[in-house]
Structure formats: C-alpha cells, structure tokens
C-alpha cells in the first residue's frame, strides 16, 4: 500500500496540472480571438464606414476592457446608423450605453438609456434588471422593485429579479 502512495499523489498532481493547462489554454485562445477581432474591426472602421453591428461589436470589446469613453463613442455611432437595425438590436445598443454610463457612475444618463432600450423592446428583461439595478444605486427602492416585478411578468423564473424582489420587499417592510 505504501508503495502505491507516491504514484497516487503524482497521478492526482498530473491530473490537476492537466486541468489547469486546459483552462489556461482555452482562455488564451479566447483572448487571441477577441484581440484578432478587435484589431480587424479597428482597422476596418478607421479606413471605412462600418455597419451598426460592427460599431456595436467593437464597443463591446472596449467596454470589456473598461475603456468606457471609447465604447460610448462607438455606440453613439451605431445609434446614428440605427435605421438599418431592428428595434431589438437598437435596444441592445441603448442597454450597452446604459451599462457604460452606469460603470462611470453617471446614473441619470444610464437610466435614460435603459429606458430607451425598454421603450424599443418592452420585454427586454436584461434592460429591466439593469434599470432596477441603477435605481437601487440611487436608493430609489420602489422604482427598482417595479422594474424587477416587470421583469418577472416577462420571465417569472428570472433569478436576478426573484432575488432582488425578495430583498427589496424586505427593505420596504422594515422602513
């Protein structure tokens, strides 16, 4: 039994190292794809006019990199081309703008953009949850609760809305 113990330990260690290597390799591949797409979109949009979708894609990459000002500029360009987009896709752009402003703690502008997203696509539960979140940050509990309840009308099993409604209702009862 004691002779097998080092083999078991080494096997476990090699298994763990293999798992870490696979996870790391997947992350490297994902990052490379993102950087390649980032580079191609940047080059294309520098030299010629792009589509709203291309501006949106590049803006999302900027937002992921926490470069909010550049992301906002690209999203605003996408909105100017919004005539070529369906309302649901325009709602995505306004939601991303709301996120960018929310991340910069410009809550009133974020609210305006989230509301525009919801106006374009009333069943947009992500936009409703985001609007509820910004209302919570501004300590507007009843408005936040209304947003989360509206989310539940469209998606009764939405885990974020369920959790936030429960929490906010407790806060309203205490106050």
Q: What is the pLDDT at residue 51?
A: 84
In angstroms and rounded to an integer, the radius of gyration of the C-alpha atoms of the chain is 22
Q: What is the pLDDT at residue 53?
A: 86
Max CA-CA distance within the chain? Answer: 73
Q: What is the pLDDT at residue 82?
A: 59
**Residue 20 predicted with pLDDT over 90:** yes
Q: What is the pLDDT at residue 107?
A: 95
Q: Whole-angstrom Cα distance, residue 67 to residue 63?
A: 5
Reported as a pLDDT band with limits 50, 70 and 90, residue 8 is confident
Reported as a pLDDT band with limits 50, 70 and 90, residue 174 is low
**Residue 118 predicted with pLDDT over 90:** yes
Q: Whole-angstrom Cα distance, residue 97 to residue 74?
A: 10
Share of the chain above pLDDT 90, in %: 60
Q: 3-class SS at 12? A: helix
Q: What is the pLDDT at residue 42?
A: 83
Reported as a pLDDT band with limits 50, 70 and 90, residue 87 is confident
Direct distance between the N- and C-terminal alpha carbons of the chain, in angstroms, rounded to an integer? 64
Q: Which residues contact 116 (CB under 8 A, 6 or more apart)?
A: 91, 94
Share of the chain above pLDDT 70, in %: 95
Q: Using a cut of 0.75, tell me whether the model's pTM lies above it.
A: yes
The arithmetic mean of pLDDT across residues 93-98, rounded, is 95
Taking the CB of residue 125, how many other CB atoms lie within 10 A of it?
20
Q: What is the pLDDT at residue 175?
A: 54
Q: What is the pLDDT at residue 28?
A: 92
pLDDT digits (tens, 9 = 90+) for 120-161: 999 999 999 999 999 999 988 889 999 999 999 999 999 999
């Amino acid at each position: 039994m004691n002779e097998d113990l080092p083999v078991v330990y080494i096997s476990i260690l090699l298994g763990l190292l293999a798992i870490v290597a696979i996870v790391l390799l997947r992350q490297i591949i994902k990052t490379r794809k993102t950087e390649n797409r980032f580079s191609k979109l940047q080059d294309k949009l520098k030299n010629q006019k792009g589509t709203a979708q291309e501006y949106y894609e590049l803006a999302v990459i900027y937002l992921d990199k926490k470069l909010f000002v550049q992301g906002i500029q690209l999203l605003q360009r996408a909105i100017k081309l919004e005539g070529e987009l369906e309302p649901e896709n325009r709602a995505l752009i306004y939601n991303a703008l709301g996120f960018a402003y929310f991340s910069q703690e410009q809550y009133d502008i974020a609210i305006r953009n989230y509301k525009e997203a919801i106006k374009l696509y009333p069943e947009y539960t992500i936009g409703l949850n985001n609007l509820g979140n910004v209302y919570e940050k501004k300590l507007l509990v009843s408005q936040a609760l209304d947003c989360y309840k509206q989310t539940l009308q469209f998606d009764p099993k939405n885990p974020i809305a369920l959790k936030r409604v429960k929490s906010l209702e407790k806060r309203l009862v205490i106050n």
